[in-house]
Amino acid sequence: MRIHFFVMGLIGAGLLTAQTNEELNFTAAIGELKDLPGAAYAALMREANEHLARRPKLDTLAAVKERGAAVRRQMLANIGGLPEKTPLRARVVGAIERENFRIEKVIFESQPNFFVTGSLYLPKTGTGPYPAILFPLGHEAGAKAHEAWQHVLGSFATKGFVAFAWDPLGQGERSQFFDADTRSSRLVQSTREHSMLGAQCLLTGDNLARYMIHDGIRALDYLLSRPEVDPKRVGVTGNSGGGTATAYLAAIDDRLQVAAPSCYITSWSRLLAQLGPQDAEQNLPPWLHLGFDFPDFIYATAPKPFLVLSAIRDFFPIGGARATFAETQRTYDSLGIAEKLKMVEADDGHGYTLPRRLAAYAWMSRWLKNAPDDGAEPTFPQATEQELYCTATGQVATSLGGESVYSLNRKRAAAVKPAAAVNVIATARKLSGFQPIEGLPPVTGFGVLVKKGYRVEKLLYESEPGVRIPAVLAIPEGVSGKRAAVLYVDGKGKAAARLEQWISEGKVVLAIDARGFGELGMRANESQQWLGDASLTTTALLLNKTLVGLRATDIVRGLELLAARPEVDASRIEGIGVGSASVPMLFATAFDARLRTVTLDGMLRSYQDAVDSRLHRRVYEHVIPGVLKHFDLPDLVAAIGSQRLTVRSRVDAMGEAVK
């Protein structure tokens, strides 16, 4: 079973409670405040649905081909283009014999010294050249040795197809974070490996899908290089993450004649509502901002045969699969090619289970053999994971070494040279997606705490429509006239504020929970410790926004509220950003000159740190796609200037203090 780390449970989720001043929090789990944590995500969902509602209706072959070409162009642009094709240097390093087929163990290089391990299944019956199946794998343990995948591959070979599967990044023999001492990935699951690498790729202007798609294209190159294969009869099918790869490869590579993704096709509106965005390679920012949806993968493949394989009880919502099929079916019907599109549903859960496997055999046999399948799945002995190893140690990292996504991405980053004359602040505004909102934010009061020498007003202000920010406003008693003020934002939330320090200086203090902080944060889990609020971050990126820009909006809107208070001298407002809040406070300072002096504690030293460090912690929340092509955090600090900005302490990509 594939393990997903982006599953949110956003609406009504539990709140973070490890605060120093719990009384500064609202009781946000009850009453009208219970949906506060999910409101920011809900606002992004509404925006996504607005973009998706404007998608064109296609009823001519010319329109479908135009849309398909646009999909391909956008996919390639979103991933940073594909690497250059270089010699595969493929070699067969062993073989396993079965009664009706032979398994060859293959190693090739999808890029120089970037090794890919795979299993090639060759029929022993009939005569070639045979039709062939490219089989990208899902995220299940064992990669090419997984039981379900061996069922599919061996069955196709028994039925007279050549079939080829390869270990995806982070799986099987291709762990990107392999620890030789523990003999396992330092991040345990491949999905977490993908997310770790995905953030690094985004910073350089690429996408992890760039590497995974290229691996698939080079796997196809190898498959077509075999004399046993008929290059005019090649299909692609895979489940889950392999379904993603199937949809991508079928859309991009015209050499694939038939596609059958399993347990992947749904719709973005239902995916966002029920599950949330998934692994790094499954998100192609700014995909939703441009109005692309799951049907577009089918349009990019049309008019070739396309089979949607779905599970009624899958976590990929079946309602989304049905909606996508209904839309594309109308298009295929209008083009007179209805027989080339089909959907098969099985009343089961996620996985390439028998009903979907049988449907895939029949579909591929129909379109690649022009013959019916026998409707049976053969049985045969399965190989162990060790038997299918292509390397001596079972890991490329310890047997062959070579490149990793981390090392290749570092080289990509090193080749980037930002223009010397770039306007850093203007560029930061554009890339972060920050959009100022005019006028005072609507404010609702939720009671007052009376303390010795000051009072604390509990407030909710609207940062943007539908997004309300919890805040506390501390006002000293017995001091007349307008006074200096502090805007405090801490990654741990407003309850971490030590109000007495500033109150004793006669200052007004506004402490806020920007999106994802404090009471707007989600229940902590191990994945969140690495990635932060990955669902909110990813959805923002898909909409051409960033969580940094959204949090900067929250801060600037809080500044509006603070500057308008009668007790506050708007010319004497200082900002304080702590921990995860320091980066958005940095951007807010760049965007609004009313923050006259700002102090940052525990700020990420640089985006380059996240690229140079093999592991990083909670950097994903700060990601701005392609930022290193234009500037880095020290450049923005310099552009603001030391008269306004003091960076009191910095941390590296793992959150450890640095000088």
Is the pLDDT at 10 greater than 60? The verdict is: no
| Type and span of the H or E element at 258 | strand 258-262
Strand partners, 235: 133, 258
For residues 404 and 490, membership in a common domain is answered with no
- 3-state SS assignment for residue 296: helix
**Do the domain assignments include residue 13?**
no
**Do the domain assignments include residue 7?**
no
User: What's 238's domain CATH number?
Assistant: 3.40.50.1820
* Pure H helices in 443-567: 499-503, 526-531, 534-542, 547-564
Higher pLDDT residue, 9 or 161? 161
**Do the domain assignments include residue 420?**
no
For residues 357 and 447, membership in a common domain is answered with no
For residues 246 and 364, membership in a common domain is answered with yes
Question: If we measure between CA atoms, which residue out of 328, 345, 339, 346 comes closest to residue 363?
Answer: 339
Residue 114 in tokens? 């970037």
Is the pLDDT at 220 greater than 80? The verdict is: yes
Number of domains the chain is built from: 2
**Do the domain assignments include residue 629?**
yes
Chosen domain end from 380, 410, 440: 410
pLDDT tens digits, 614-624: 999 999 999 99
* Mean pLDDT of all residues in 260-276: 96
For residues 243 and 345, membership in a common domain is answered with yes
Question: If we measure between CA atoms, which residue out of 350, 337, 202 comes closest to residue 266?
Answer: 350
- Rounded Cα distance, 10 and 35, in Å: 9
What is the reported pTM?
0.93
Q: Mean pLDDT of all residues in the chain?
A: 92
Parent domain of 358: 63-410
What is the predicted pLDDT for the residue at 263? Answer: 97
pLDDT tens digits, 445-461: 988 999 999 999 999 99
Is the pLDDT at 375 greater than 50? The verdict is: yes
- 3-state SS assignment for residue 345: strand
For residues 251 and 330, membership in a common domain is answered with yes
Assign 301 a pLDDT band (cuts: 50, 70, 90).
Answer: very high
pLDDT tens digits, 470-502: 999 999 998 788 999 999 999 999 999 989 999
For residues 373 and 267, membership in a common domain is answered with yes
**Do the domain assignments include residue 11?**
no
pLDDT tens digits, 38-63: 899 999 999 999 999 999 999 899 99
CA angle centred on 321, ends 62 and 73, rounded to 5°: 40
Q: In whole angstroms, what separates CA 48 from the centre of its chain?
A: 16
Query: What is the residue-wise DSSP string for 1-63?
Result: ----S-----TT-------S-GGGS--TTSGGGTTHHHHHHHHHHHHHHHHHHTPPP--SHHH
**Do the domain assignments include residue 425?**
no
For residues 219 and 316, membership in a common domain is answered with yes
Chosen domain end from 410, 445, 476: 410
* Mean pLDDT of all residues in 639-655: 96
Higher pLDDT residue, 488 or 659? 488
For residues 97 and 183, membership in a common domain is answered with yes
Helices 405-414, 208-225: axis angle to 10 degrees equals 120
**Do the domain assignments include residue 263?**
yes
What is the predicted pLDDT for the residue at 12? Answer: 27
For residues 238 and 304, membership in a common domain is answered with yes
What is the predicted pLDDT for the residue at 525? Answer: 62
pLDDT tens digits, 181-219: 677 766 666 788 899 999 999 999 999 999 999 999 999
For residues 94 and 42, membership in a common domain is answered with no
Is the pLDDT at 335 greater than 90? The verdict is: yes
For residues 526 and 380, membership in a common domain is answered with no
Assign 550 a pLDDT band (cuts: 50, 70, 90).
Answer: very high
Alpha-carbon torsion (242, 243, 247, 248), positive or negative: negative
Is the pLDDT at 17 greater than 80? The verdict is: no
What is the predicted pLDDT for the residue at 321? Answer: 98
pLDDT tens digits, 563-611: 999 999 999 999 999 999 999 999 999 999 999 999 999 999 999 999 9
- For residue 216, CA distances in Å to 109, 111, 168, 603, 642 come to 12, 12, 9, 39, 49
Residue 654 in tokens? 């793992």
What is the predicted pLDDT for the residue at 545? Answer: 98
Place of tokens 């700002």: 598
* Mean pLDDT of all residues in 318-345: 97
**Do the domain assignments include residue 455?**
yes
For residues 252 and 285, membership in a common domain is answered with yes
* Mean pLDDT of all residues in 271-282: 93
CB atoms within 10 A of CB 466: 13
